[in-house]
Structure 1
């Protein structure tokens, strides 16, 4: 009888579906006080819930601090998370951290900002050179007569931002636009500083015809940006001062609708968070993923801002 029972148990075990293994995947942004990454977090959490056997851990430095990001990655390695998705603040520092994770058997992908020479398996996010080209092309389209322009960037060691700056310059090369000395400024993802830098650029160069922030930082400070732009509202309305800004977060769409900018070129951070979970799960299953997964861009002007606000 005992042998028959054991045989029955063994047969039942063979016929039962295998339970899905649970995984803990960490998304590490450049800075947790940057609302852009809140959307990546939301996409990560949503997709993890849909998958059922995945937990999304969202952890990064409060402010843009590459050394802090590197330490957080080391802590996550020590906690033996099952996968890492990193928005790279500093390529050199992240390359070392990524190698440490891979050596520990943890798959790593990058999102938003890449470290292409590292041991990461894939990058999910924007084609940043095309992003910069789109920003510059939109400015040229709005103001073919040209003038002096400046850019505001984030961290000088972030490859994605370097590529955007290069793209803007490439788009405006040979046009009537001239970049001023001291451009770009670097706000290190500090939204208040980004607004102050825009003010300083305009104060120091009264004939400045356009400012192109290659990230949405200044507009994330709603009142500060509105205060700055309102001083030049007549010039913005008359096409004599142009603001073409990266990203399309809700606060930016609202400011654009109010007339405090001319155009936005936006990324898709929510989708980055979703796809990061899919890629890490595939890697844990031993599946291959594409090395480069672009999530696309959106161009928003006063003509289609209402439609974007409804999404």
Structure 2
């Protein structure tokens, strides 16, 4: 009897050890915790980890857009020995060394939302950013077929994903005869208040500008200031001389569209990025092969379909 009891205890201990070995902690690192866009990636990460059952999603990044702090957080996760890292890269060059450190420690590393193609990251999940820039340009031309002047706005000059969007936007607009004004692009460093100020500055410096078309939704994340900017230019908006085409489809942006402060949104799918990041890291941890590039789609939202997107976001 005693032998059987000891055997049962041993089996239970082995099962507990195996169960612990199958439990993983994956870090999801945004460019900035103050950017509500990344809240959706966090939600997708958490939802997928709950679904998988043996995965814990650890969501942590810089308080605000700061590449050096992002690198330090990655180094901390390497030191802690997490089972995998997914990072939205603020500066593609700055993460090369720390990604190598993680890989040398046998920690899988992927990028989401913003890539670092020169690094040893094993996969990327996100948007076809050049195509997003093109779509922003196409939607603008649909509303304003006559070439005019334009300005654009980005987050940070070292963000590869945003630079790809700018390249796609320029390809379409400059190819159609649009002219970029002096001082464009501006860089808001993912700061909503600064983003709104920059939009107002462009409009003040260029009273006849045909469009200001950011490649991210930063200004709309401070809706009061954004509304003030649009209200100051509403006569030109209503006359069709100043179309409002903006990036991303967060709930606050969808509501601004419904209220008449945006005409078209071209949006990414950050929730899906968070989900897929967990799936890919789990596959890598199990030694499975994954696709190097994993694209999620784009959404184009107008007055005609905004209610559907608003309902889905609640």
Instruction: Identify the TM-score tier after normalising by the shorter chain.
Output: over 0.9
The CA deviation string for residues 171-197 of structure 1, in whole angstroms up to 9 with x for no partner, is 123313211121110001011000000
2:22 alignment counterpart = 21
Q: Distance in 1 between matches of 2:42 and 2:50?
A: 12
Matched residue of 2:190: which SS? Answer: coil
How far residue 3 of structure 1 moved from its aligned partner, in angstroms, is 6.7
The match for 1:229 is 230
Moved more, 298-307 or 271-280: 298-307
Aligned 1:1-311 pairs, distance under 5 A: 19=19, 21-311=22-312
Retained in 2: the 8 A contact 1:155–1:187?
yes
How far has the Cα of 1:281 moved from its partner?
0.5
Q: Quick one: distance in 2 between partners of 1:11 and 1:62?
A: 46
Alpha carbons 1:236, 1:261 under 8 Å: kept: no
Deviation of residue 55 (structure 1)?
Answer: 0.6
CA distance in 1, matches of 2:157, 2:224: 26
| Counterparts of 2:244 and 2:161, CA distance in 1 | 21
Instruction: Decide whether aligned partners of structure 1 residues 53 and 202 sit closer, same or farther in structure 2, where only a CA change above 3 A counts.
Output: same
Equivalent pairs counted in the alignment come to: 311
Q: Within 2, Cα distance between the matches of 1:224 and 1:127?
A: 30
CA contact (8 A) 1:144 1:176 kept: no
Q: Which runs of 4+ in 1 moved over 3 A?
A: 1-16
| Alpha-carbon spacing, 1:210–1:75, altered in 2? closer, same or farther (3 Å) | same
Cα distance, 1:275 vs structure 2: 0.4
Q: Where do 5+ consecutive residues of structure 1 fail to align? A: none
User: Is the contact made by 1:220 and 1:252 (CA closer than 8 Å) also made in structure 2?
Assistant: yes
CA drift of 1:27 comes to 0.3
* Secondary structure of the structure 1 residue equivalent to 2:175: coil
| Contact kept? 1:236, 1:260, Cα under 8 Å | no
- d(CA) in 2 for partners of 1:9 and 1:210? 72
- Residues in 2 aligned to 1:113 and 1:280: alpha-carbon distance in whole angstroms: 16
User: Counterpart of 1:137 in 2: which secondary structure?
Assistant: helix
Query: By how many angstroms is 1:12 displaced?
Result: 9.3
* Partner Cα distance (1:48, 1:11) in 2: 28
Aligned-partner SS, 1:288: coil
